[in-house]
């Protein structure tokens, strides 16, 4: 038996195809003790395994993950393309900001890609352009196609995908599969074929795999994570809004949460138009949601 190290590139029915560090794809299975320990290998995991020539190998160890997503089930993600429709379904800053906060917490770099911009009137497109400027000033990469899947937008996205491990996510109907098909027509992903009768909970994808995109890798199963739960403490939320975190350095009080405190630099920046009102409103909304779920006995916990 020879020991190898590599990254899982395909997960299917209990088998895991691992691309070894020296560039060889080998099929493996997880030993029973993985189940006993409650460990499920994910695409993107770096693993050690042993194998004989021409036989399936056995996974021995999963390296520590830097992050792990549920939908799609992928580990060690570097960046996420947030496919965001401007219409059908209608654009929501609330949903986009939820997604951004969740990705920030997981240490995943978000790239916002707007779809269906051809459905906008000239006035609506100008209004969206202002919002895009706000997100760019906040520190996010945003791709705003002039027309659906135009060449400059796809070229920009291919450059971004040319490194690391990326996932494509967003609401159902936002155009994730269509975008991937434009990036790589050989994928031929089914678009719009998920029956409306199927509830989200029942929709399962049996196969997850990574496909090469230049020097990078992309999970070819678009995820539609809903990001309904915030895991952080309310006082930590400020860290996951980039521009709020930036201006917070100038607040008078070190533990300022930018709600009712005096001399709050964040509120000054909102008034001055340096932070989008919608971003600040969503920050307050998320803060209240997190506070609302706390057990009563935590109310007087000492703040760190």
Give the pLDDT of the chain (304 residues) as one tens digit per residue.
899 999 999 998 889 999 999 999 999 999 888 878 888 999 999 999 999 877 789 999 999 999 998 878 899 999 999 999 999 988 999 999 999 999 999 999 999 999 999 999 999 999 999 999 999 999 999 999 998 889 999 999 999 999 999 999 888 888 888 898 899 887 766 554 433 333 343 444 457 889 999 999 998 776 665 566 688 999 999 999 999 999 999 999 989 999 999 999 999 999 999 999 999 999 999 999 999 876 655 444 444 4
The answer to whether 170 is a known ligand-binding residue is: yes
- pLDDT value at residue 176: 87
- pLDDT value at residue 31: 82
The answer to whether 175 is a known ligand-binding residue is: yes
The answer to whether 191 is a known ligand-binding residue is: no
The answer to whether 13 is a known ligand-binding residue is: no
Superfamily of domain 234-298: Probable gtpase engc; domain 3 (1.10.40.50)
Q: Comparing 2-62 with 234-298, is the CATH topology the same?
A: no
Closest CA to 81 of 11, 183, 152: 183
Domain limits, the chain: 2-62, 79-219, 234-298
pTM for the full predicted model: 0.87
The answer to whether 171 is a known ligand-binding residue is: yes
CATH number, domain 2-62 = 2.40.50.140
State which H helix or E strand residue 213 sits in.
strand 208-213
**E strands within 21-107?**
25-30, 46-51, 57-62, 79-85
The answer to whether 21 is a known ligand-binding residue is: no
Instruction: Please state the φ and ψ torsions of residue 163, each to the nearest 5 degrees.
Output: -155, 150
Domain covering 79-219, topology = Rossmann fold (3.40.50)
The answer to whether 255 is a known ligand-binding residue is: no
């Amino acid at each position: 038996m020879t020991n190898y190290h590599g990254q899982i590139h395909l997960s299917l029915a209990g088998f895991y195809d691992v691309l070894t560090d020296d560039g060889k794809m080998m099929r493996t299975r997880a030993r029973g003790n993985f189940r006993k320990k409650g460990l499920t290998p994910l695409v993107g995991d770096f693993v050690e395994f042993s194998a004989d020539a021409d036989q399936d190998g056995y996974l021995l160890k999963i390296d520590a993950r830097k992050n792990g997503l549920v939908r799609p089930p992928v580990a060690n993600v570097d960046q996420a393309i947030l496919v965001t429709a401007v219409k059908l379904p209608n654009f929501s800053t609330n949903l986009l900001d939820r997604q951004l906060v969740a990705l920030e917490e997981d240490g995943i770099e978000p790239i916002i890609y707007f779809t269906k911009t051809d459905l906008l009137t000239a006035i609506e497109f100008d209004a969206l352009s202002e919002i895009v400027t706000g997100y760019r000033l906040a520190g996010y990469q945003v791709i705003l196609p002039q027309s659906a899947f135009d060449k400059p937008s796809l070229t920009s996205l291919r450059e971004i995908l040319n490194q690391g491990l990326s996932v494509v996510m967003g609401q159902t109907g936002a155009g994730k599969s269509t975008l991937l098909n434009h990036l790589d027509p050989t994928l031929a992903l089914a678009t719009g074929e998920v029956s409306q009768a199927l509830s989200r909970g029942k929709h399962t994808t049996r196969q997850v795999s990574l496909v090469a995109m230049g020097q990078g890798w992309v999970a070819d199963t678009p995820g539609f994570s809903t990001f309904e739960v915030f895991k952080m403490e309310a006082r930590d939320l400020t860290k996951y809004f980039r521009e709020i975190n930036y201006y917070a350095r100038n607040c008078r009080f070190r533990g300022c949460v930018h709600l009712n405190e005096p001399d709050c630099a964040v509120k000054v920046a909102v008034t001055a138009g340096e932070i989008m009102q919608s971003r600040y409103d969503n920050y307050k909304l998320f803060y209240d949601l997190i506070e609302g779920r706390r057990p009563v006995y935590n109310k007087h916990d000492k703040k760190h």
